[in-house]
Chain A
Amino acid sequence: MPLIEIRNLTKRFRKGDEVITPVLELDLDIEPGEFVALMGKSGTGKSTLLNLVAGIDRPDTGSIMVAGTDLTRLSRGQLADWRAAHLGYVFQTHNLVPVLTAYENVELPLLLLPMTSRERRNRVDFALQVVGLSDRAQHFPRQLSGGQEQRVGIARAIVAHPTVVVADEPTGNLDEETSRQIQTLLQELNRQLGMTMIMVTHDAEVASIASRQLHMEHGRVATPPPTLTATV
């Protein structure tokens, strides 16, 4: 049984008279433990789809079932609770809280869950260890490099053991070397910890670390033929 079942999903934006429909009657299933790369040209609706699955945006029609919960039926508050318990979100850039240390940033999502402080400490230590930043726990974001910041962001996304981790162009702002380190890290999280991941990228090389590549066009997703992935 799929972990994520998306049915007949449509999302429209209205700008004055103009209506944009980045997601149109879309169907998609994602199995547990899959690593899906969402590719496509700029403006094709990749981020929009990701945000709908992440429960931070609402569709016009259709349903999004994640592990048996229909996100479209939840209230704002319930969606927040759902995100705290089930979602890890890796942002493109600079989304750590500047007044908090790396440790405190990673701890943030755990403050929303019922947990003893001891358990919180164990989980944060583990997450920082996974991303290889145990020695930077007490550093503030401005004291970290771009790649380190992103790794703290990833630690924050996995610390609560989420059902699904989503990432929107996680390497978009990094140089090639750092980008590759992050790719390796994401791949390890998927393979070794079995985390289900959806990653948006327009870079075919980055997408190649995923177990399944999807191409987005005209509001739908399709599995591209192998030749296409190779040339994009």
Chain B
Amino acid sequence: MFRFAPYVCKTLWRHRLRSLLTISGSAVAIFVMGFIHSVQQGLDRMVQGEDAQRRLIVFQENRFCPTSSRLPEDYARRIAQVPGVTDVLPIQVWTNNCRASLDVVVVHGVPATRLPEHRKLRLEQGQWDNFTQRSDAAVVGRQFAQRRRVRLGDQLTFGSMSVHVAGIFASDSAAEEDLIYCHLLFLQLAAGQSAAGLVTQLEVKVDEQTDPDTAAKQIDEQLRTGLVPTATRRKGAFQTATISDLVDLIAYSYWLSLACVGLVLSLVATTTVMSVQDRVQEHAVLQTLGVRPGRLMRLILAESTLLCLAGGAAGVGLAWLVLQWGQFSVGAEGVAITLRPSAELATAGLLVSLGLGLMAGFLPAYQASRTPLVAALRQS
């Protein structure tokens, strides 16, 4: 089979402009597909996972943006009385943008000493002590740090507040690496006098035997007599509900990626059909020399597949570079989906282009192998 590889490559090279245009068109489409897929992957990562399923978020009822949810901090004590609840973490959330955005800044204010037990964070730079001992200190997720070029010891300014970067951390969860943690009290004070004693949300841990949804109901029940009514959900469900508009959009973007598939298919098929029509006589000559119809088909399929794979590889490579370099996170209302390149994404992109190449070449290849030789040779 590979004895004919030079023939296939030289044929593609002969029409290099045509090949190049087809490859770059496919590359763009595969790039867009990769990008869309990475948003979907980011969403999946956020919603699945142990924490998203087992932890609960208590939020003010009918509120969505973190700036509008205000719960008394001492709700934590009352929640702790609900059976099955093992721990409650009060969190004040600040975000630069409540609407959908590609560059979200989300700051979580938490009791500093309790952070390590609630989040599996590994400090890559800096020290925990420096964070806990300084009231305006913050630890920054490494994805955010990379995107905004933040370094240890920097002074970071958001809105009216300014924090000291005491550490940069890594986490197994991509979403965590996009966050900034600072002291709860610091963020409460920054939000103004009226915010003292109030938090945005409370994060609840329940024990293994307790069903999270049952506990959530009991918490809302328990707090119904309080000043502020609450809505409690699993963390994953809370996040999806918060960015539900975005989730819908992501669902629609699936159709966009299908359109990309169609685009690649028609592009490569058109090129292959053209190239086959140009060479009706050449293919008849090859068959006269003894090339079997099946081999002729494989030669044409090899052409279309090479074009498509080259486009796919370029698209995947481009997507990888852009995702790695841009460290994007798309989000709204203080919840962000992080976009990351992944081996799974790259493999999927290459497999899709392989499949598309075979599909695009099939019809022209079949036709070429079925053309009666004598009639084809007479076309001169």
Residues of chain A having any CB pair with chain B under 8 Å: 51, 54, 56-57, 76-77, 80-85, 87, 89, 91-95, 97-100, 104, 108-109, 111-112, 156
Contacts and interface: CB of A to CB of B under 8 A. Distances in A.
Interface of B: 3-4, 6-7, 10-11, 13-14, 281-282, 285-294, 372-374, 377, 380
Given A99-B11, A100-B10, A56 B289 contact: no
A112 B373 contact: no
Nearest to A51: B374
Nearest to B12: A99
B377 A91 contact: yes
Minimum-distance CB pairs A-B, first 6: A84-B290, A99-B10, A80-B292, A83-B290, A111-B3, A56-B373
B290 A85 contact: yes
A112 B289 CA distance: 9
B286 to A, nearest CB: 7
Q: Which of B13, B281, B289, B373 has the most CB of A within 10 A?
A: B289
21 contacts: A51-B373, A51-B374, A56-B287, A56-B373, A56-B374, A76-B292, A77-B293, A77-B294, A83-B289, A83-B290, A84-B291, A89-B289, A97-B7, A98-B14, A99-B7, A99-B11, A99-B14, A104-B7, A108-B7, A111-B4, A112-B291
A21 B53 CA distance: 80
Q: Which of B11, B290, B374 has the most CB of A within 10 A?
A: B290
Contact of A94 (B4, B7, B290, B380): B380
Contact of B289 (A92, A98, A108): A108
B285 A91 contact: yes
Contacts, number: 68
Given A91-B377, A93-B380, A98-B14, A108 B286 contact: yes
B293 A56 contact: no
B373 A77 contact: no
B305 to A, nearest CB: 18
A97 B11 CA distance: 10
A97 B8 CA distance: 12
A84 B374 contact: no
Given A51-B374, A56-B373, A94-B380, A100 B288 contact: no
Contacts of B6: 100, 104
Contacts of B3: 111
B379 to A, nearest CB: 11
B288 A83 contact: yes
Nearest to B11: A99
Contacts of A95: 281, 285
A156 B290 contact: no
Nearest to B9: A99
Contacts of A77: 292-294
Contacts of B13: 99
B289 A156 contact: yes
A128 B281 CA distance: 24
A85 B289 CA distance: 9
A80 B291 contact: yes
A72 to B, nearest CB: 16
Contacts of B287: 56, 80
B285 A97 contact: yes
A31 to B, nearest CB: 25
Given A80-B292, A97-B282, A99-B7, 15 more contacts: A56-B287, A56-B374, A56-B377, A76-B292, A77-B292, A77-B294, A89-B288, A91-B285, A91-B377, A94-B380, A97-B285, A98-B282, A99-B10, A99-B13, A111-B3
A108 B299 CA distance: 14
A77 B291 CA distance: 9
A52 B294 CA distance: 22
A82 B10 CA distance: 27
A83 to B, nearest CB: 4
Contacts of B289: 83-84, 89, 108-109, 112, 156
A112 B295 CA distance: 10
B179 to A, nearest CB: 57
A140 B29 CA distance: 37
Contacts of B293: 76-77, 80
Given A51-B374, A100-B7, A56 B288 contact: yes
B294 A81 contact: no
A153 B97 CA distance: 73
A112 B299 CA distance: 13
Nearest to B15: A99
Contacts of B373: 51, 56-57
Contacts of A91: 285, 377
A95 B13 CA distance: 20
A57 B374 contact: yes
B288 A54 contact: yes
A91 B284 CA distance: 11
Nearest to B373: A56
Contacts of B281: 95
A82 B293 CA distance: 13
B6 to A, nearest CB: 7
Nearest to A120: B3
Contacts of A108: 7, 286, 289
Nearest to B287: A80
B380 to A, nearest CB: 6
A81 B293 CA distance: 11
Contact of A109 (B14, B282, B290, B372): B290
A81 B287 CA distance: 10
B45 to A, nearest CB: 48
